[in-house]
Structures are given as C-alpha cells and as structure tokens.
C-alpha cells in the first residue's frame, strides 16, 4: 500500500510517500521568510504553506515514482501547531481524500516525533513497548511512557520554556540567527564546556524548567558586556559549549530519575533537538556503559518532516484508524 503523509504544523511544508513502512520520498520545503524576524510569523507561515503544498506533494509523488491514483490513503497532521498552518495541510488532505475516494488519517505531531523509530530504513531494531519517549523540540519537552503506538502517558514535562526554545532564545542573546539550536551545536564543538557555569534549575520529580537557565545566561552576559563590549564575539564557542553542556546535564539527570522511577531502560528520543550532538553523545555513552538502550532518529527525522506523518499513517492504516471530513485541526493537542 502507498500512503501519502503531509506535515504543515509550523514553518516547514513537507510531503512523504510510503510503501508500507518504507520511505520512498520525504520532501521538506523550509520557509526562509521568518529568518529576518528572528522567529516564526504565523500569518506568513500559512501563506507560504499555501504556495508550497502543491509543488511539494507533486515532488514527493514523482520521487516515489507513483501517481496520486496509486495512493491507498492520506495522512496529515491534525495538531498541535499553528492553526493557520495546520488548516492548509488538513484542507489539502481532505480535498485529496475526497477526490481520490481514499481513507483520511489524522496524526498527532508529537506522537509522530516518537513513532519515527518504526520507520523501516535502518538496520537497527525499533524499541519494544513499553519504552520511554523523550520529545525534545521547539514547543515541547516531555518524558512519555509509551505503552503502545497510540497509548502514551506524559510523566514529566517543562513548566515553562521548551528545550528548543531555550536553545533559540539563548542563541539570540549570543547574536546567532534563528533557529539558533543548530548554530549553538556547531559552535559548541569548538568551545570549552567548563568555561562558564550557568544555573541548573531545581525542579521536583520528572518536570523540567528552562527559564532560570535563560535568565542566568542573560544576567551573566549583561554583566560581562558592560566590562567588555566584545565579550560575546570573543567567547562565542565557550558560551555555546557551556550552555549546551548544562542543557545536556539537565536532560540526562531527569532521564536517570525517570529510568529509576519506571524501571524502563529503553530511551527513544524525538523532535528537532534530538539532532543535537551533545545530547546524542551523552545518550550513546549511557548505551556504551550498558545502562540504557537508546534509540536516536536519523537527522532527517528529527526536525519537522512528513516521513514521521507517513509512518503513523501506515500504522493507523493497518489498524483501520481512519477519520472523516468533519475532523477539525487542533492548535493544542495532547500526545
Ligand atoms: P513541536 O514539535 O514541539 O511542535 P517544532 O515542530 O517547531 O515544535 P521541531 O521542528 O521539532 O519543533 O524542532 C525545532 C527546534 O529544534 C528548534 O528550536 C531548533 O533550534 C532545534 N534544533 C534543531 N537542530 C538542533 C541542534 N542540532 N541542536 C539543538 N537544537 C536544535
Ligand atoms: Fe515538531
């Protein structure tokens, strides 16, 4: 069976074609218009989705070597995300399902970030249920007990900023362009992670907080730039490395706690921040010490993409979990 997946929850328009659990194509059109504003402008995002969606889907079908008439079902992101962006993808998916008379499948974007581990294109095996899913992205930071494909329970989450937001906001303070996460990662590789000490939040249980770290970076920079206006440029690599290592430290300590509390030692990460090299290295170290069994997505499945929607489309298609044309997009949508 051929399944088309469509993702349009934020600022990337993406379409993927699957043959069962195998990816035939995964096309992503990013939107450059937001760079000059230092963040995503929702109104501009929905307009760009409207321009991109038809060519992106055409390209995905072409690369897969099929036509739309070969499709068995169409899956799309129902939420969470920006309402205007979600509406473009869902309206397109509904129209196509109506025109082709094929089933329509709705997908929760955050479930999809974790279910990428079931895409059949690596030699590694997928995690077994139950496992701990870790959604680390631009809008979320959650530890999720994944009992089955569509039975997930959040056991820890951020009380304020998301982890990706922390990267982007602190990166902005370091004068890095949006999205700053990948830039911080790059500069970290050249810096000393022990050079500067930023505050580690003290949050109970499995919840996270990143606003204190952000404030600690802000006050530190204000103090230092008063003494030396070029402080940031002169110390960029060390600032990035020190910040990133603190974030890794926060994440790994919470995961240690979660493993202890649940007895589950399989950790599967997902979301844009799972592309981060510091986080990947720290997890692999845990694996090498035989402490955890870790599952790390391919880079192309970390940030927003339609392959993650396509795999959920396949998993729901198998179970006949279809939706109808009355389904409505959800800006907030629990995992
Ligand atoms: P959500 O999935 O919560 O709705 P989103 O879809 O906007 O949010 P993603 O595309 O999953 O978010 O992730 C984007 C985030 O990932 C941005 O904050 C970006 O800075 C961050 N990011 C991407 N690559 C890296 C990296 N190598 N290191 C750190 N952060 C990164
Ligand atoms: Fe996302």
Q: What is the 3-state secondary structure (H, E, C) of 152-197?
A: EEEEEEECCCCHHHHHHHHHHHCCCCCCCHHHHHHHHCCCCCCCCC
- pLDDT for residue 256: 97
- Joined together, the tokens standing for residue 150 give 């569509």
> Is 102 flagged in the annotation as binding?
no
Mean pLDDT, the chain cut into blocks of 10 residues (335 residues total): 98 97 97 86 96 98 98 98 98 98 98 98 90 97 98 98 97 95 98 96 96 96 98 98 98 98 98 98 95 96 98 98 98 96
CA distances 224 to 129, 182, 188, 250, 275, Å, are 49, 25, 20, 25, 30
User: Which residue blocks in the chain are alpha helix, DSSP H?
Assistant: 42-64, 83-100, 109-115, 163-173, 181-188, 211-227, 231-262, 277-288, 307-318
**249 among the known binding-site residues?**
no
Give the phi and the psi of residue 152 in degrees, each rounded to 5: -125, 140
Q: Is residue 135 a known part of a binding site?
A: yes
Check if 156 has its Cβ closer than 6 Å to any atom of ligand 1. Answer: no
The answer to whether the predicted template modeling score (pTM) of the entire model surpasses 0.90 is yes
Give the contacts of 286 (CB within 8 A, at least 6 positions apart).
252, 267, 292, 294
> How far apart are alpha carbons 207 and 203 in whole angstroms?
6
Its sign, for the CA torsion 48, 275, 254, 134, is: positive
The answer to whether 319 and 28 have CB atoms below 8 angstroms apart is no
Q: Which residues surround ligand 2, an ion (CB under 5 A)?
A: 137, 304
Quick one: tokens of 213? 């770290």
179 lines ligand 1 (CB under 6 A): yes
CA 203, 244, 10, 306 dihedral sign is: negative
Closest CA to 111 of 258, 311, 248: 311
Residue 242 CB neighbours (<10 A): 21
CA 271 to ligand 1: nearest atom? 11
Q: If phi over 0 gives left and psi between -120 and 50 gives alpha, with beta otherwise, what is residue 21?
A: alpha
- Position 290 scores a pLDDT of 85
Give the per-residue pLDDT at 16: 98
Cβ atoms within 10 A of the Cβ of 56, count?
Answer: 24
Q: Compute CA distances 234 → 180, 200, 221, 229, whole Å.
A: 18, 24, 12, 10
Token pair in block for residue 205: 């249980």
Distance CA 161, CA 139 (A): 8
Q: What's the pLDDT at 8?
A: 98
Atom of ligand 1 nearest to the CA of 275: 27
């Amino acid at each position: 069976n051929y399944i088309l997946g469509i993702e349009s929850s934020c600022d990337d328009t993406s379409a993927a074609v699957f043959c069962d659990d195998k990816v035939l194509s995964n096309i992503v059109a990013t939107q450059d218009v937001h760079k000059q504003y230092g963040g995503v402008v929702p109104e501009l995002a929905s307009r760009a989705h409207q321009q991109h969606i038809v060519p992106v889907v055409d390209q995905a079908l072409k690369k897969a070597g099929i036509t739309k008439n070969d499709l068995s079902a169409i899956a799309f992101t129902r939420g969470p995300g920006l309402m205007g962006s979600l509406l473009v993808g869902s309206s397109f998916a509904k129209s196509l399902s109506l025109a082709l008379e094929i089933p329509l499948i709705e997908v929760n974007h955050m479930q999809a970030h974790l279910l990428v581990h079931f895409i059949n294109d690596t030699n590694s095996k997928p995690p077994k249920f139950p496992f701990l899913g870790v959604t680390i992205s631009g809008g979320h930071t959650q530890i999720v007990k994944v009992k089955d494909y569509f039975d997930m329970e959040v056991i820890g989450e951020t009380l304020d900023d998301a982890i990706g937001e922390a990267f982007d906001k602190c990166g902005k303070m370091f004068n890095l362009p949006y999205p700053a996460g990948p830039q911080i990662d790059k500069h970290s590789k050249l810096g000393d992670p022990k050079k500067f000490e930023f505050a580690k939040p003290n949050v109970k249980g499995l919840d996270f907080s990143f606003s204190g770290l952000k404030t600690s970076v802000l006050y530190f920079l204000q103090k230092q730039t008063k003494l030396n206006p070029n402080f940031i440029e002169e110390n960029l690599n060390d600032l990035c490395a020190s910040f990133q290592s603190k974030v890794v430290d926060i994440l790994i300590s919470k995961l240690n706690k979660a493993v202890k509390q649940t007895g589950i030692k399989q950790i599967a990460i997902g979301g844009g921040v799972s592309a981060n090299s510091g986080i990947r290295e720290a997890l692999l170290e845990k694996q090498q010490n035989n402490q955890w069994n870790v599952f790390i997505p391919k880079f192309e499945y970390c940030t927003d993409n339609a392959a993650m929607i396509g795999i959920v489309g396949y998993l729901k298609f198998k179970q006949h979990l279809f939706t109808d044309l009355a389904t409505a997009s959800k800006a907030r949508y629990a995992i």
